[in-house]
Amino acid sequence: RFERYETTTGNLSSYLHGSKIGVLLNFTGGDDELGRDISMHIAASKPRSVDASGVNPEEIETERRIAIEKAREGGKPEAMLEKIAEGTVNKFLREVTLMGQVFVKAEDGKQTIEQLLKSRGASVTAFQMFVVGEGIEKKVEDYAAEVAATIAAAQG
């Protein structure tokens, strides 16, 4: 698996965490230190996408349905179910999107990546995280089926 970024006006940053996790970051504005900090954050927090537009809509809908069902089972009024689901989905998006996550090096423990980038006049175009062994399919061997096939071939 590989990812290729080209830029004429932006910046590229990379970060290796040990020998197991690597991050490529394409961003505009800011400086090399900001790029390294954001890349380090990505390695630590493992966001799935830059913002909500990159999250699979089916996954969002699943979170919404689960929230409504939990609220309904908890005896919440029908009128409140949609508000509860909206809050749950927003929380989910803050957890899985880079822009919604709290920056790991935030001194106040509250500053999100989006706020950090805005304060530095920067924005993230794209990122990719690589984890050693990720995406490799293990061959599953079914010895019983293999033996049966060998016996069938020998008999027929």
Tell me what percent of the residues of the chain surpass a pLDDT of 90: 62
Return the number of other C-beta atoms located less than 10 Å from residue 119's C-beta: 9
Is the pLDDT higher at 111 or at 4? 111
Structure-token pair, residue 156: 């027929």
CA dist 152 and 156 (Å) reads: 6
Q: Is this structure's pTM higher than 0.85?
A: no
Distance CA 155, CA 24 (A): 56
Residue 156: pLDDT band (50, 70, 90) is: low
| Structural domains of the chain in order of their starting residue, each with its CATH number | 1-55+97-136 (3.30.479.20), 58-91 (no CATH)
Asked if residues 117 and 124 have their Cβ atoms less than 8 Å apart, the reply is yes
Q: How far apart are CA 26 and CA 129, in angstroms?
A: 12
Which one, of 101, 105, 102, lies nearest residue 33 by Cα?
105
Mean pLDDT, range 78-89, rounded to an integer: 92
What CA–CA distances, in Å, run from 146 to 118, 137, 138, 139, 155?
Answer: 59, 20, 17, 14, 14
> What does the pLDDT look like over 104-134, one tens digit per residue?
999 898 999 999 999 999 999 999 998 887 6
Which is nearest to 12 in space by CA: 1, 32, 2, 121? 32
pLDDT digits (tens, 9 = 90+) for 8-50: 778 888 888 888 899 999 999 989 999 999 999 999 999 999 9
